[in-house]
Structure 1
Amino acid sequence: MPRTRPRNAVGFTTRSLLICVVLGAATAVLIHLARFVGVLLFGAAPWLGKPSALIPYFVLLIVASLLVPRFGSALIASLVGTVVGIGTMALMAGLMVEVGFAIARSVQRRTSGELAPFGDRRWLVWAMLAGCLVGLNSFALLFTFKEFQALPAGLMLAGLGVRIVAGIAYGWLAWVTVRGLLSAGLKLDGPSRRSVPAPSSSGSAS
């Protein structure tokens, strides 16, 4: 009888939880970098700062949702990033990623009855959507700064465009990262490969 990996009450294995924690800790490093670059840019170009759209601080949260396609994976990673990164940037991004992938899982189950395998191209558009949602949320938060509110409409639109393009690019980067990890031999629990039935051994012994 095949052994099953232990799961907790919400369906996460020890390995999947560890993946989320590691990605969350790495997210905190990117958040500190994005915060630093954002402060440097905000004085000269408020539409590029706080946080800086030039730093992919949320890309590993999308990776978490791609590697662990269960509700809460990006949220767990973002909570770790929030604690280690000291701030709510990771949490806000994690919530947006969760929304994007909740839609993805719902659509896939309705259309095909099951989730696509890990690294499948069908996840790419949803990864880019999640990145776009984070970008839109980041843009909305800029209106809490008086310096941004004083900008001309053209620069505001430029800030919106940069965040949407960056979000789409970072979603693509997350998908490519997952493909690379799978090609390197990362083992995961779930639909990582289309299973091929093993040949029966009943007739091999004579």
Structure 2
Amino acid sequence: MRQAFLGYTTRSLLVCVVLGAFTAAVLHLARFIGMLLLAVAPWLGSPSALIPWFAFIIVAALLVQRPGAAVLTALIGTVAGVGAMSLMAGVVVEAVFLVGRAVRRRRRGAIAPVGDRAELWLAVTAGILTGGMSYATLFTIQEFLALPAGLIVLGLVVRIVAGILYGWLAFAVVRGLLRAGFDPGGPRRARRLESTTSPSAGSPR
């Protein structure tokens, strides 16, 4: 499969495009639910914390282990969605994975393989921080500022719990795709891996 910019394959770029489209669709739903809840539960926010609107951005970072995968996916979600919330989430997710993988590369010489459990904590951390970013935007909503302090704190707790769940959900989606035989790198990557693990032509049988 032909290599594209920054080591992306055509398949990995398509993965980002598809996940970006999913992000836009789910973000639209989260905004709609958030608007419905604004009058009765503004601490759930808009986009609503009850909808995993940033989970597909985390999936992109887990599945396409290339710099900028989360931002690219989020940018597509922003273009197809409403507002810059998707892009803000992409920047947060991208930063978490860049730092986390840089630390692992420095300690162990390489990042964890796609679907490795070592990346679960990155997904969960990205979910928590994205939830925190979403929570910060609530302070621009007048109805939220008028709430009692207890409900304001509850809004943060909901986003932390949701971030943990959505990070785990993204990791579970990636593991499910891998079990189903999906290769984010495409057949060319698979052939390279096979060639590196197969015995040499002159080796004894």
After TM superposition, the score normalised by the length of structure 2 is: 0.92
- Structure 1: how far apart are the matches of 2:203 and 2:97? 45
**Which piece of structure 1 moves more, 86-95 or 140-149?**
86-95
Counterpart for residue 169 of structure 2: 173
Kept in 2, the 8 Å contact 1:38–1:51? The answer is yes
- Percentage of identical aligned residues: 55
Counterpart for residue 109 of structure 1: 105
Counterpart for residue 182 of structure 2: 186
Displacement of 1:23 in angstroms is 0.3
RMSD of aligned Cα (Å): 1.8
- Structure 2: how far apart are the matches of 1:183 and 1:177? 10
Kept in 1, the 8 Å contact 2:15–2:184? The answer is no
Task: Find runs of 4+ consecutive structure 1 residues off by over 3 angstroms.
Answer: none
More helix by share: 2
User: In structure 2, do the counterparts of structure 1 residues 14 and 39 end up closer, same or farther at CA, with 3 Å as the change threshold?
Assistant: same
Matches within 5 A, 1:129-140: 129-140=125-136
User: In structure 2, do the counterparts of structure 1 residues 203 and 132 end up closer, same or farther at CA, with 3 Å as the change threshold?
Assistant: closer
- Structure 2: how far apart are the matches of 1:203 and 1:65? 39
Q: What is the DSSP-based 3-state SS (H/G/I as helix, E as strand, rest coil) of the residue aligned with 2:2?
A: coil
- Structure 2: how far apart are the matches of 1:58 and 1:9? 25
- Structure 2: how far apart are the matches of 1:162 and 1:111? 34
Counterpart for residue 197 of structure 1: 197
**Which piece of structure 1 moves more, 101-110 or 23-32?**
101-110
Kept in 1, the 8 Å contact 2:78–2:84? The answer is yes
2:180 is equivalent to residue 149 of structure 1: no
Count of residue pairs the alignment pairs up? 199
Q: What is the DSSP-based 3-state SS (H/G/I as helix, E as strand, rest coil) of the residue aligned with 2:5?
A: coil
- Structure 1: how far apart are the matches of 2:103 and 2:166? 22
2:55 is equivalent to residue 59 of structure 1: yes
2:85 is equivalent to residue 85 of structure 1: no
Counterpart for residue 90 of structure 2: 94
Runs of 5+ unmatched residues, structure 1: none
Displacement of 1:71 in angstroms is 1.5
Amino acid at match of 2:80: V
Runs of 5+ unmatched residues, structure 2: none
Q: What is the DSSP-based 3-state SS (H/G/I as helix, E as strand, rest coil) of the residue aligned with 2:35?
A: helix
- Structure 2: how far apart are the matches of 1:200 and 1:110? 31
Displacement of 1:121 in angstroms is 0.3
- Structure 2: how far apart are the matches of 1:200 and 1:132? 47
Counterpart for residue 22 of structure 2: 26
Kept in 2, the 8 Å contact 1:37–1:49? The answer is no
